[in-house]
A and B are shown apart, each in its own frame.
Chain A
Amino acid sequence: MKQEKVFTNALEITAISKKYQRGKIPANDKITTSFQPGQITAVIGHNGAGKTTLLNQIIGTVKPDSGDITYQGYSLLGNTKLARTLVSMMPQFHAPLTGVTLRQSIEAIVHIRCVTEKQVKARTNQILADLSLEQWADQSGDKLSGGVQRLTSFAMAVVCPPPIILLDEPTNDVDPVRRKLVWQYMRKLAQKGHIIVIVTHNLLEVEEYADRFLLFEQGRLIQDTPTGKLNSQFATHTLSAVLQDKDGLTTAPKALEINYLEEEARVVFTLTSEQIIEAINWLLKMMDQGKVINYKLSSASLDVSYGGMTNEQ
C-alpha cells in the first residue's frame, strides 16, 4: 500500500543559494531553515547580508540559483503564482501611495486579496482602527509622513493575511506607540497560525517581541536562536555609560570585557553577577564627580552581543 506523504505546515527553505551580476556577488549561500506557523521569526544582519533577498526568493521575484522553497508539499520556486497566493509581502520601501489615500491603498489590496465585496469596508476600517490610523485615512498617500506610509504598507500586507507574511523593516520611522501596535498585530496573526517573517535592524524589538532570530552575514545564515534562550546563553549583564571624559576609565571596575566606543563616548562593561556591585559603586562615584552623563544596566542583550556574533564591527 502506498504511504501517503505527510506535509508539514512549516515553510521549508532548503539549501538556497544566489549570486547576482553573473555570479560575481553572492547574495545568499546554501541557506537551510524553516519557518513555523504561530511563530514570529526575525531575520537580522548587516546591510547586504542577504535578508531581503531571502524574502524576495520566498515570494518569487528573485530566483535562487539552487535549492528549493516548499510549503505543504508545494514548491514555491516552481510556481510563483502559488507563492504570491500563499505569501504577502511588505516591501523594504513604502508601497507606492502616489495619487491614492491611505484608505484607498488598503481597499485596493482588499479588492484583490479578499473575495467578497462586503469585506472591503469592514476589513479596511478594522485595520485602520487596529493600527490607530483613522486620522490619516483620507489623506493623500504622498503627503503622509514616512512612518504613516510605512504603517500603510504594513496594513496592505496584513489586511487579508495569507498563511505566510513577510515584512521588511515594518517599524522603521514608526512612532513608539504604533510600533507596539505593529508587533501586537503580528503576534495576533501568529496566534492564528500565520507564519511571520520580519527583517529588522531593531534588535531591542527582536528581543522583546520575536520568538526566534536568524542572523545573516555575507549571505550565510550564521545563527538560528530562540530569543528566549538569549539570557541563559549569555548569563551576563551589561553596563553602558556615556562619559564626560575618558579619564574615569583609569579606575574602571573589573569586568569580563570593557569596550570604549570613541565616537559615542560610551563605555560598555560586560559583567558577571558578582561584578555588578563593584561596577555600580564605580558608577555612583563617577556620577558624584559629574563624569557620567547617563547609564543603563541590563541583562546581556542581543543588541550588545550582536557585534560579537558577527565578524564585522
Chain B
Amino acid sequence: MNNEQVSNQIARTNSFALKKLWGLIRWSLVRHKYLISAFSLVQAVFAIAIVYGLALLIPEIDAESAVYLSSGAITLGMIAVGCVLAPQIASTSKQNGLFDYQRTLPVSRSSILLADIIIWSVASLPGIMMSCLATVLRFQITIHVTPSSIFTILITQITMICIGFAIAYWLPPNAMALATQIIMIGGLLFSPITYPIARLPEWTTYIYQVLPFVPTSNLIRATLFQSEILDPINLIVVLGWAVVAFIFALMALAKRK
C-alpha cells in the first residue's frame, strides 16, 4: 500500500468512531443475548424479594419505611448489575481472551468501555422497571419520572458499572469475586439503603458518606420518590466515583505490558 492509501485508511478509520462503537455494542449484544435475558429475570425476582420479602421483616410499614424499601430495591438492583454481574462477565472476558482481543482492534479504549456501559445500563433497566412496578403495587407510592430522576438513574448506572469494571480489570478473579460479594452483602445488610441511617451508629455515617452507595440511594429518594431534598454533596460524591472508576477502568484497558 502506498502512502496515500494508508493516509486514506487512517482518515476513514478516525471518522467512523460512532459506527465502530455501534459495532462493539452489537457484538456485545450478540454475545450476551442469553445472559442479559437471564439477568433481567434475576433482577425482577430480586426487586420483588426486596419490596415484598424485606417488608415481611417489618411488622408495621410506615411511609418512610416504604420509601426506603422501594428506593433500596432500585438502588440495590443497580448495584447488583454494575458491581456484581458486570464485573463477573468482565472478569470472564479477561480469562477467555476477549479483553486482550478487543485491545487489538482499531477502536479507542473509551469506546470499548462505553459500549459495555451502554450494554449493562440497558441490562439493568428491566430490574429498575420491575422495582418501580412492585413499589407501586405493594405500597401505592407515586414514582416521579422527571428529567432529574432519569439523570440520577443514568448517573447511578454509569457509576456502578464503572466501579464494577475497575474492580474486574484490576483485580485477579478470586479477589474480584470477594470484592463484589463484600459490596453486595454490605449493601444489602449493613448499608442504610433499605432503612434510615439513624438506625446505625453515628461513626458509620462518615464511611457511608464517602462511599458511592448510600449517596446513590439518597439521590434516588430525592428525585424518583421526592421524599427528601436533593443534597448536592450526594451528587458530587457519586459523580466523583464515576469519574475515578472510569479513569481506572480506562487505565487498565490502555495498560501495556
Q: Which A residues, 257 to 304, have Cβ-Cβ distances below 8 Å to chain B?
A: none
Report the bound CA distance from A67 to B128 in whole Å: 52
Question: Nearest CB to that of A55 among chain B residues?
Answer: B104
Q: Does residue B199 face the partner (Cβ distance < 8 Å to A)? A: no
Closest chain-B Cβ to A37's Cβ sits at a distance in Å of: 7
The reply to whether the CB of A89 lies closer than 8 angstroms to some CB of chain B is yes
Whether A148 is near chain B, meaning CB under 8 Å from some CB there, is: no
Contact residues, A61-115 vs B (CB, 8 A): 61-63, 71-72, 80-82, 84-89, 91, 93-96, 98-100, 104, 108-109, 111-113, 115
| A85 near B10: Cβ-Cβ < 8 Å | yes
**Does any Cβ of A come within 8 Å of B24's Cβ?**
yes
Q: What 0/1 pattern do residues 183 to 209 of B give for CB contact below 8 A with A?
A: 000000000000000000000000000
Residue of A59, A87, A162 with most partner-chain B CB within 10 A: A162
Asked whether A99 lies within 8 Å of B32 as measured between CB atoms, the reply is yes
Q: Give the CA-CA distance A171 to B14 in the complex, in Å.
A: 33
Contact residues in A for B13 (Cβ distance below 8 Å): 85
Chain B binding surface, main DSSP class: helix
Q: Is the CB of B10 within 8 A of A82?
A: yes
A220 within 8 A of B: no
> In the assembled complex, which residues on chain B have CB atoms less than 8 Å from the CB atom of A93?
97
Segment at the A interface, from B15-23, B39-47, B228-236: B15-23
B151 close to chain A: CB less than 8 A: no
Cβ 8 A contact of A84, one of B31, B97, B104: B104
* In the complex with contacts A85-B9, A96-B96, A163-B6, A112-B24 CB distance below 8 A: yes
Pair A61/B104 contact, Cβ less than 8 Å: yes
What number of residue pairs across chains A and B have CB atoms under 8 A from each other? Answer: 98
A108 in contact with B104 (CB, 8 Å): no
Whether a CB of chain B sits under 8 angstroms from the CB of A253 is: no
Give the chain B neighbours of A7 by CB distance below 8 A: 3
Q: Is the CB of B108 within 8 A of A96?
A: no
Q: Are A108 and B34 in contact (CB under 8 A)?
A: no
Q: Pick the contact of A112 from B5, B23, B34, B35 — CB < 8 Å?
A: B23
Interface bits A1-21 vs B (CB < 8 Å: 1, else 0): 000000101000000000010
Known A-B contacts A86-B10, A98-B96, A111-B22; the reply to A61 vs B256 at CB < 8 A is yes
Q: Is the CB of B1 within 8 A of A96?
A: no
Any A CB within 8 A of the CB of B105: yes
Distance from A84 Cβ to chain B, minimum over Cβ atoms (Å): 5
Select from chain A the residue with minimum beta-carbon distance to B33: A99
User: A20 — which chain B residues lie within 8 A by C-beta?
Assistant: 257
Is the Cβ of B32 less than 8 Å from the Cβ of A96? no
Residue with the highest number of chain B CB atoms closer than 10 Å, among A89, A99, A112, A113: A112
Is there an interface contact between A9 and B106, defined as CB atoms closer than 8 Å? Answer: no
> Which residues, 97 to 132 on B, are CB-close (under 8 Å) to A?
97-98, 100-101, 103-108
Is the beta-carbon distance between A61 and B257 smaller than 8 angstroms?
Answer: yes
Residues of A within 8 A of B24 (CB): 112
A142 CB to closest chain B CB, in angstroms? 9
Expressed in whole angstroms, the minimum distance between the Cβ of B5 and any Cβ of chain A is 8
Are A9 and B1 in contact, with the CB atoms below 8 A? yes
Residue pair B1, A111 in contact (C-beta under 8 Å): no
| Complex interface: chain A residues within 8 A of B19 (CB) | 111, 115
Task: Kindly provide the distance from the CB of A161 to the nearest chain B CB, expressed in whole angstroms.
Answer: 10
Contact indicator A115/B12 (Cβ below 8 Å): yes
A162 contacts B30, C-beta separation under 8 Å: no
A113 cross-chain contacts in B, Cβ below 8 A:
105-106
Instruction: Tell me whether B256 and A60 are in contact (CB under 8 A).
Output: yes
Q: Is the CB of A112 within 8 A of B105?
A: yes
Tell me whether B26 is interfacial, beta carbon within 8 Å: yes
Whether the Cβ atoms of B22 and A37 lie closer than 8 Å is no
A194-B256 CB under 8 A given contacts A84-B106, A91-B97, A95-B101: no
A12 to chain B, nearest CB (A): 14
> Does A108 contact B6, Cβ atoms closer than 8 Å?
no
Residue numbers in A under 8 Å from B93 (CB-CB): 96
**A63 touching B97, Cβ below 8 Å:** no
User: In the assembled complex, how far is the CB of residue B183 from the closest CB belonging to chain A, in whole angstroms?
Assistant: 26
Q: Does chain A have a CB within 8 A of B140?
A: no
Residues of B near A194 (CB, < 8 A) are: 1
Measured in the bound complex, the distance between the Cα atoms of B19 and A255 in whole Å is: 65
> For residue B26, which residues in chain A have a CB less than 8 angstroms away from its CB?
108, 111
Given contacts A84-B104, A93-B97, A162-B106, 9 further A-B contacts (CB under 8 A): A20-B257, A56-B257, A62-B256, A85-B9, A88-B104, A100-B27, A112-B105, A112-B106, A113-B106
Residues of chain A whose beta carbon lies under 8 Å from any beta carbon of chain B: 7, 9, 20, 37, 56, 59-63, 71-72, 80-82, 84-89, 91, 93-96, 98-100, 104, 108-109, 111-113, 115, 162-163, 193-194
Query: Ordered nearest first, which 10 A-B pairs have the shortest CB separation?
Result: A111-B23, A108-B27, A96-B98, A63-B256, A112-B23, A99-B31, A85-B106, A163-B1, A84-B106, A85-B13
CB-defined A-B contacts under 8 Å, sample of 30: A9-B2, A37-B1, A60-B256, A61-B104, A61-B256, A61-B257, A62-B257, A63-B256, A84-B105, A86-B10, A89-B104, A94-B97, A96-B93, A96-B96, A98-B31, A98-B96, A100-B27, A108-B27, A111-B20, A111-B23, A111-B26, A112-B20, A112-B27, A112-B105, A113-B106, A115-B16, A162-B9, A163-B6, A193-B1, A194-B1
